[in-house]
Amino acid sequence: MKFTFPLLLAVLLCSGVGQAQPVPVAVERLGNLRVERELRAPASVLSANRTVVTSEVTALIKAVLADVGASVKKGAILVRLDSDNASLALAQARAQLEALDAQIVQAKWRLEQAEDLLARNFMSDDELVGRQTDLAVLQANRHGQQVAIQVAELALARTNIRAPFDATVVQRQAQVGNFAQPGTQLFTLVQTHAREVDAELDPRYSTGLASVLNLRYVSFGREYPIELLRLSNVIEKDTRKLRARFSFKDDTAPIGSSGEIAWTEISGVVPVTLIVQRGSAFGVFVAQNGKAAFLEIPGAQEGRPAVLNLPDDTLIVSRGHVRLQDGDDLLTTSE
């Protein structure tokens, strides 16, 4: 049986041969496809305070109670200075206060006598004023002597030199028998309970640093969760970087260790596997009203991820896109 061409065409059309079939593809929201980038910056762990402890008084060093490597608590005595002179000065100041108190008692009695004599016209007004002045001078001297006692007590207290905070001794200059004067260096302490991570950041990556994912300090194969404390808004002239400080959340790394801070950033970059070439252009396919639409990505290059500035709910063809052409009908499923 032979078919004429018109009859053959009619048969083919009726059977569906020659009609484009929908292309089965998978689609996914762009927000789920964006690439996570791990960024890093050099960093080191610093103590909040590194302090040189010095003497505040002049005295002989009698005892040294800490050495290099020792951990000391806030208020612990590090050095005892000879306190004999300070103790004698305090005793003398207290004795002088007692003498003034005795003179004030006598001056008050003399003033009462003068007031009684003046009432009976046996004393002049000038003599009364004189006795009032004597009492006022003694009371002022007493106040000054109280200050002198406080100074002597402070000097005595300073013969016991104490740690200003919890710390580790990293240097010891104090030696028993040496003569200490104000400013004489005795110990170098590094604060242990307050340590921070110091890092230099590229200004391009500093925006939004407080809300990035998986922020951590990495050193000698260990990772320590950290959080942003301070971020300078001044770009340093020599490095062209911003300086940032971070605090440890849980475990702390040793003071003086060096490493990197690392964090994960959700970027606007799409994976290279989604980028296809059509003609001379590189881009991605999106699903629009059941059809494939090719969107060129300006500046995209073969074999490299590219930035795609589209809303996160844009439906990207994530499987089956390699064989698509612009305008193809789609049979879509969601991944």
Q: Determine the topology of domain 19-35+269-334 in CATH.
A: 2.40.420
Burial class (CB in 10 A: 0-12, 13-18, 19+), 248: middle
pLDDT higher than threshold 50 for residue 12: no
φ/ψ (deg, to 5) at 191: -65, 135
Q: What is the pLDDT of residues 119-155, one digit of tens each?
A: 888 788 888 899 999 999 999 999 999 999 999 999 9
Q: What is the pLDDT of residues 60-99, one digit of tens each?
A: 999 999 999 999 999 999 999 999 999 999 999 999 999 9
Q: What is the pLDDT of residues 275-302, one digit of tens each?
A: 999 999 999 999 999 999 999 998 888 8
Position 3 confidence tier, pLDDT thresholds 50, 70, 90:
very low
Position 335 confidence tier, pLDDT thresholds 50, 70, 90:
low
- Which of 30-39, 130-139, 314-323 bottoms out in mean pLDDT, i.e. has the lowest? 30-39
Q: What is the pLDDT of residues 199-231, one digit of tens each?
A: 999 887 777 776 677 899 999 999 999 999 999
Position 19 confidence tier, pLDDT thresholds 50, 70, 90:
low
Position 7 confidence tier, pLDDT thresholds 50, 70, 90:
very low
140 Rama class: left (phi>0) / alpha (psi -120 to 50) / beta: alpha
φ/ψ (deg, to 5) at 255: -65, 135
Q: What is the pLDDT of residues 173-206, one digit of tens each?
A: 999 999 999 999 999 999 988 899 999 998 877 7
What's the pLDDT at 16? 46
User: May I ask the CATH architecture of the domain 38-48+193-266?
Assistant: Beta Barrel (2.40)
Position 54 confidence tier, pLDDT thresholds 50, 70, 90:
very high
Q: Averaged over 153-158, what is the pLDDT?
A: 96
What's the pLDDT at 20? 66
Residue 334 and residue 28 in contact, taking contact as beta carbons nearer than 8 Å: yes
The pTM of this model reads 0.61
Q: Averaged over 32-57, what is the pLDDT?
A: 89
What's the pLDDT at 59? 96
Q: Using only the alpha carbons of the chain, give its radius of gyration.
A: 43
Domain boundaries defined on the chain: 19-35+269-334, 38-48+193-266, 83-158
pLDDT higher than threshold 90 for residue 246: yes
Residue 308 and residue 32 in contact, taking contact as beta carbons nearer than 8 Å: no
Spatial distance between the Cα atoms of 54 and 56, rounded to a whole number of angstroms: 6
